[in-house]
Amino acid sequence: MEKPDFAKGGGILPVVVQDAESLKVLMLAYMNEEAWRKTVETGKAHYWSRSRGKIWQKGETSGHFQEVLEILIDCDMDTILIKVRQHGGGACHEGYGSCFYRRIDGDGWAVVEPRVFNPEEVYGK
């Protein structure tokens, strides 16, 4: 299979993560080639953490893993879109279903989603 063009992003590419059923955009993450390979092989989403400098399987701490149902690539082969079934409470480490839980509202940001889990209970303090 022709692989995504990891060289273009200096080794890592952005991955749009969408709920396969609701079509809600859950998060944006990054993959390097190893995270890509593990995701394709296992059917569970693996990402490259830019802050921690390592591969992680989404949900390895929280249990909120992502089952990958569909993998798409964009015209330039430099952005990946995965459609997933989100297991557990939600995708966002802040306790929301989606990381995009705030919307512009006048001069500020309004929270537009309910919290679905308590991050302190899931991740510890």
Least distance (Å) from its own copies to the CB of residue 58?
14
Least distance (Å) from its own copies to the CB of residue 63?
19
Contact 55, 46 (CB under 8 A): yes
State both tokens at 47.
């990402």
Q: Using CB under 8 A, which residues numbered 21 to 50 contact its own copies?
A: 23-25, 27-28, 40
Q: Using CB under 8 A, which residues numbered 49 to 108 contact its own copies?
A: 70-76, 79, 81, 92-94, 96, 99-104, 107-108
Binding-site residue ranges for Mg(2+): 74, 76, 78
